[in-house]
Amino acid sequence: MKIVYALESTGLYGGTKVILRQAEALTHRGHEVMVVSPEPFPTWFEGTVDFCQASLRDAGPFRQAHWVIGTYFRHMPSLFSDRMIARKLWHLSQGYEGGWPEAAPDLPEIEKVYRFPIPKMTVSSQLSKSLGKQFPGRYYSVGQGIETQYFYPREEMVTWASKDKLQCFLVGTFPASVKNITTGLAAILKARNRLGSRLQLVRITTQNTREAEERLYGPIDNYHVHLAPRKMGELFRSGGILLSPYRKGEGFGLPPMEAMACGIPTVITGIPSFLNFAEPADYSIFVSPEDPDQMADAICFLAGRPDEAKRLAHRGIEVASRYSFKKVAGNIERTLRMEYIRRLCPNWLNVLFRN
With 70 as the cut, is the pLDDT of residue 338 above it?
Answer: yes
Q: What is the mean pLDDT of the chain?
A: 94
Backbone region of residue 258 per phi and psi (left: phi > 0; alpha: psi in -120 to 50; beta: other values): alpha
Same-domain check for residues 226 and 316? yes
User: Is 150 among the domain residues?
Assistant: no
Same-domain check for residues 115 and 172? no
Q: Which pLDDT tens digit goes with each residue over 307-321?
A: 999 999 999 999 999
Same-domain check for residues 85 and 54? yes
Same-domain check for residues 170 and 315? yes
> Could you give the CA distance from residue 114 to residue 13 in angstroms, rounded to a whole number?
22
Answering whether pTM is above 0.95, one says no
Q: Which pLDDT tens digit goes with each residue over 37-66?
A: 999 999 999 999 999 999 999 999 999 999
Query: What pLDDT is stored for residue 202 in this prediction?
Result: 98
User: Is 222 among the domain residues?
Assistant: yes
> Could you give the CA distance from residue 257 to residue 324 in angstroms, rounded to a whole number?
11
| pLDDT tier, 355 (very low <50, low <70, confident <90, very high otherwise) | very low
Which H/E stretch holds residue 131?
Answer: helix 125-134
Rounded to 5 degrees, what are φ and ψ at 259? Answer: -65, -45
Percent of the chain with pLDDT over 70: 95
Same-domain check for residues 37 and 130? yes
Same-domain check for residues 23 and 116? yes
Percent of the chain with pLDDT over 90: 89
| pLDDT tier, 30 (very low <50, low <70, confident <90, very high otherwise) | very high
Same-domain check for residues 114 and 235? no
How many domains in the chain?
2
For 315-340, what is the mean pLDDT?
97
Q: Pick from 268, 240, 244: which is nearest to 179 by CA?
A: 244
Q: Return the CATH number at 105.
A: 3.40.50.2000
Q: Which pLDDT tens digit goes with each residue over 177-230?
A: 999 999 999 999 999 999 999 999 999 999 999 999 999 999 998 999 999 999
List 146's β-bridge partners, or say none.
Answer: 324
| pLDDT tier, 350 (very low <50, low <70, confident <90, very high otherwise) | low
Number of residues in the chain: 355
Which H/E stretch holds residue 37?
Answer: strand 32-37
> Could you give the CA distance from residue 96 to residue 15 in angstroms, rounded to a whole number?
12
Q: Which domain holds residue 18?
A: 2-145+324-352
With 70 as the cut, is the pLDDT of residue 162 above it?
Answer: no
Same-domain check for residues 78 and 204? no
User: Is 154 among the domain residues?
Assistant: no
With 70 as the cut, is the pLDDT of residue 346 above it?
Answer: no
Same-domain check for residues 225 and 329? no
| pLDDT tier, 352 (very low <50, low <70, confident <90, very high otherwise) | very low
User: Is 159 among the domain residues?
Assistant: no
> Could you give the CA distance from residue 26 to residue 67 in angstroms, rounded to a whole number?
13
Same-domain check for residues 315 and 179? yes
User: Is 153 among the domain residues?
Assistant: no
Distances (CA, A) of 273 to 122, 129, 253, 270: 12, 11, 7, 8
For 131-142, what is the mean pLDDT?
97
With 60 as the cut, is the pLDDT of residue 157 above it?
Answer: no
| pLDDT tier, 351 (very low <50, low <70, confident <90, very high otherwise) | very low
User: Is 113 among the domain residues?
Assistant: yes
Same-domain check for residues 71 and 136? yes
User: Is 160 among the domain residues?
Assistant: no
With 90 as the cut, is the pLDDT of residue 35 above it?
Answer: yes
| pLDDT tier, 156 (very low <50, low <70, confident <90, very high otherwise) | low
Query: What pLDDT is stored for residue 155 in this prediction?
Result: 72
User: Is 49 among the domain residues?
Assistant: yes
Query: What pLDDT is stored for residue 344 in this prediction?
Result: 81
Same-domain check for residues 116 and 89? yes
